Homo-oligomer: A and B are copies of this chain.
């Protein structure tokens, strides 16, 4: 038996997230089907995180324990042959048998892309949030830094979440502009349900005056979801890095 660590990139537009489910297309189901076509084996492929419907990944890790003996370096091309073009496996290597893509992750980096031009751009359709009012990146950064550190993120978590411990550490949260694209990067040891989307929505609500400038520390303190901003749509969110 071997344990294979696969790294992939996917355009999440037409998937209901990573997680396998009934009556909805998922990345996990596609990867398990492709693995079955390649190896003849029905294996569970264990992902590093759930991702919401419509969320993308530049780097998503998953592992599969199997006695399939195809050399690791041949597996990406073999899987890509069976996968739809919206999913691409770009690395496969053997790891220790106990390794688990989710439980061994020490941290993750997400990026959220905002298309901040005056008129919408067809090439960012489903790939970025379209926000036409000019964003002030300095103001975004002044507020973004208040997310950094160890905090209870209850106010930045979907009310649907059943997770008990909502304390997470954010290592970095910053905004950068490249032409009409504003990129918000968030790096941390773990993330709650919808957490990055609510963090970005809160930064935008500070920009547009719905939430007071400088109030993120108080919102964190309140643990009250209703005091944070909107949950921005998944289109702009990318799992960008998984740290082991």
Contacts and interface: CB of A to CB of B under 8 A. Distances in A.
Interface residues of A, number: 22
Interface in A72-118: 76-77, 80, 85-90, 117-118
A125 B76 contact: no
A122 B87 contact: yes
A11 B88 contact: no
Contacts of A87: 122
A244 interface: no
Interface string A46-87: 000000000010000000000000000000110010000111
A123 B11 contact: yes
Contacts of A89: 119
A183 interface: no
A90 B118 contact: yes
A241 interface: no
A10 B122 contact: yes
A85 B11 contact: no
Interface of A: 9-11, 56, 76-77, 80, 85-90, 117-123, 125, 127
Given A9-B123, A80-B120, 9 more contacts: A11-B122, A11-B123, A11-B125, A56-B123, A76-B119, A80-B119, A88-B119, A88-B120, A89-B119
